[in-house]
Amino acid sequence: MTVHTDVPARERGQTDAPAPERVSHAGEEEKRRKARYPGRQTWAAWPAYDAAGLGFRGYWYPVAWSSNVAAGRPVRITLCGENIVLVRDSKGLHALYDRCPHRGVPLSTGTQEFDGSISCPYHGWTFDTSTGRLGAVITDGPDSPICGKVSVATYPVEELLNLVWVYMGVDGEEPTPLLDQIPEELRGVSFNLGGRIKVRRGDWRLTCENGFDEGHAKFLHRNAMWRRFKSMPVWNVTKLEQRGRWLFRVQTEQHWTAEFPGYGSWPPERESRWRIKPSADGTQSISNTGNPKAPHPHIAAQDYPGFVSVSMPGVLRVVYPDFIHYEFYVPYDADHHRYVGLMVNFDSGFRSLLFKAKYLGFVRWFFHGLFAAQDAWMVDETDAPPERLYRPDVSLTTWRSMCEDAAEERTARLNPTA
Ligand code: FES
Ligand code: FE2
């Protein structure tokens, strides 16, 4: 077919004349971008971590207080981007994918009409809570032919530490023992427990990195009520040490004052006047307040090399002389995480009553509330990558590398012949 056109051949590109050289702006764009966003542009150096915005599979995650999941009152949660309904009945606690296969209504909006089942509120499809199998369809009669042909996915679920834990694996994967994931120092001992659960903005990686971040606490939290009367170092020299599944920040130097050329000294007198002065005996492995208080014997027996440690799949442990604080950064969706903060004290008798009073009257508000809110604020404001990391950020990069190792180990375990 001949195409008629008025455009001269030269302009249609049908010429042997060399094409004019194109001016490329790509290099300039790149320069501008690097000036605005210096440093590392992506997390491609940690590919498994980079891809784990919705969490790592193959772990138990705490999702709710046990006491908040009552019989007859289904509870909807989101975990690793999946909506799940928790149901308690005479057969125990169950976790099912929260979507009726008929028309997609959440089962968590349904009711428990018959023990051992949950019914969708729309057309009464009724699922067995243990197996997820469709057992009856109220609006299609007792001989409904669809019964037994449809199921919803179920998840392994257990209860420990007064918490509900859900295992997120891949299809058909046998869960690992939940106890293996509980911090070692909590196994086989009695303790007092206080805590807070809250869904917060920011994906679980940003909040986990904030928790294990070496640099921020001394500056960001310096005037939080939790720290208002205590000293914190200005800066530390820190190395990272992995022991088993825990990665520790180990302080090899702590500097309580410093002179910044051209600026002056830190902390300023107005900020340190009311603080308890740190003891002069060098660095500490427990706490970071310069308080030489002897740790509780159970804590001392653990011989932690540093007061902050982190483990898969995003668990922070902060050790103080008379209690241990844990933060579980539970993947929720791409933009949120579930913060599960626990405080554990190993005293018994009268001293355990004192701890409970201290937790409810002070710690829950000042630490799990106001102090943690400063972290939540920073996580919400963080916009990385791109990122230009500094010396203390070795805590972040080592944690990311540890995640890569764990992901590789899991892949090897699931595919032993690969
Ligand atoms: Fe659930 Fe129809 S949508 S029964
Ligand atoms: Fe913090």
340 and 247 in a common domain: yes
277 and 138 in a common domain: no
Q: Is residue 6 part of a domain?
A: no
Q: Is residue 182 part of a domain?
A: no
User: Cα–Cα distance between 204 and 78 in angstroms, integer?
Assistant: 13
Q: Which of 96, 99, 102, 111 to mutate to test the pocket of ligand 1 (most atoms within 8 A of CB)?
A: 102
366 and 304 in a common domain: yes
329 and 222 in a common domain: yes
Q: Which ligand lies nearest to the CA atom of residue 374 in the structure?
A: 2
Q: Is residue 40 part of a domain?
A: no
346 and 292 in a common domain: yes
413 lines ligand 1 (CB under 6 A): no
Q: Give, in degrees to the nearest 5, the angle at Cα 301 between 300 and 302.
A: 90
105 lines ligand 1 (CB under 6 A): yes
Q: Which ligand lies nearest to the CA atom of residue 220 in the structure?
A: 2
161 and 110 in a common domain: yes
What distance in angstroms lies between residue 318's CA and the mean position of ligand 2's atoms? 11
Q: Is residue 91 part of a domain?
A: yes
What distance in angstroms lies between residue 98's CA and the mean position of ligand 1's atoms? 12
User: Cα–Cα distance between 164 and 88 in angstroms, integer?
Assistant: 11
What distance in angstroms lies between residue 112's CA and the mean position of ligand 1's atoms? 15
Say what the pLDDT of residue 222 is.
86
Q: Is residue 39 part of a domain?
A: no
Nearest atom within ligand 1 for CA of residue 139? 4
127 lines ligand 1 (CB under 6 A): no
Give the pLDDT of the chain (418 residues) as one tens digit per residue: 333 434 344 334 444 555 555 556 778 888 888 888 999 999 999 999 999 999 999 999 999 999 999 999 999 999 999 999 999 999 999 999 999 999 999 999 999 999 999 999 999 999 999 999 999 999 999 999 999 999 999 999 999 999 999 999 987 789 999 999 999 999 999 999 989 999 999 999 999 999 999 999 999 998 877 766 678 889 999 999 999 999 999 999 989 899 999 999 999 888 777 777 776 555 666 666 666 678 899 999 999 999 999 999 999 999 998 899 999 999 999 999 999 999 999 998 888 888 888 878 777 777 777 788 899 999 999 999 999 999 999 999 999 999 999 999 998 888 887 6
Domain boundary among the residues 119, 135, 168 is at 168
204 and 116 in a common domain: no
Q: Which ligand lies nearest to the CA atom of residue 120 in the structure?
A: 1
Nearest atom within ligand 1 for CA of residue 123? 4
User: Which 8-state DSSP code applies to residue 295?
Assistant: P
SS3 372: helix
68 and 147 in a common domain: yes
CA-nearest residue, atom 4 of ligand 1: 123
Q: How many domains does the chain have?
A: 2
Q: Is residue 17 part of a domain?
A: no
Q: For residue 407, what are its two tokens?
A: 């992901």
207 and 137 in a common domain: no
Q: Is residue 37 part of a domain?
A: no
405 and 360 in a common domain: yes
**Single-letter amino acid, residue 409:** E
Do residues 312 and 403 touch, judged by C-beta distance below 8 A? yes
Say what the pLDDT of residue 2 is.
37
CATH code of the domain containing 339: 3.90.380.10
Integer angstrom CA distances of residue 171 from 53, 77, 155, 167, 175: 19, 19, 10, 11, 11
SS3 392: helix
Q: Is residue 49 part of a domain?
A: no
CATH code of the domain containing 132: 2.102.10.10
CA-nearest residue, atom 3 of ligand 1: 103
What distance in angstroms lies between residue 380's CA and the mean position of ligand 2's atoms? 13
283 and 153 in a common domain: no
Residues with CB under 5 A from ligand 2 (ion): 217, 375
pTM: 0.89
Nearest atom within ligand 1 for CA of residue 125? 4
Of 244, 238, 275, which Cα lies nearest the Cα of 257?
275
Long-range pairs, 71-79, Cβ under 8 A, ≥24: 71/112, 72/112, 74/107, 74/108, 74/110, 74/111, 74/112, 74/118, 75/108, 76/106, 76/108, 77/166, 78/332, 78/333, 78/336, 79/55, 79/166, 79/168, 79/330, 79/331, 79/332, 79/338
Domain boundary among the residues 168, 200, 216 is at 168
Say what the pLDDT of residue 5 is.
39
Q: What range does the domain containing 252 cover?
A: 190-412
In this structure, what are the phi and psi dihedrals at residue 360, rounded to the nearest 5 degrees? -70, -35
150 lines ligand 1 (CB under 6 A): no
Q: Which residues pair with 292 in a beta bridge?
A: none
152 and 75 in a common domain: yes
122 lines ligand 1 (CB under 6 A): yes
CA-nearest residue, atom 2 of ligand 1: 123
Do residues 198 and 339 touch, judged by C-beta distance below 8 A? yes
Nearest atom within ligand 1 for CA of residue 107? 1
SS3 224: coil
Q: Which ligand lies nearest to the CA atom of residue 119 in the structure?
A: 1
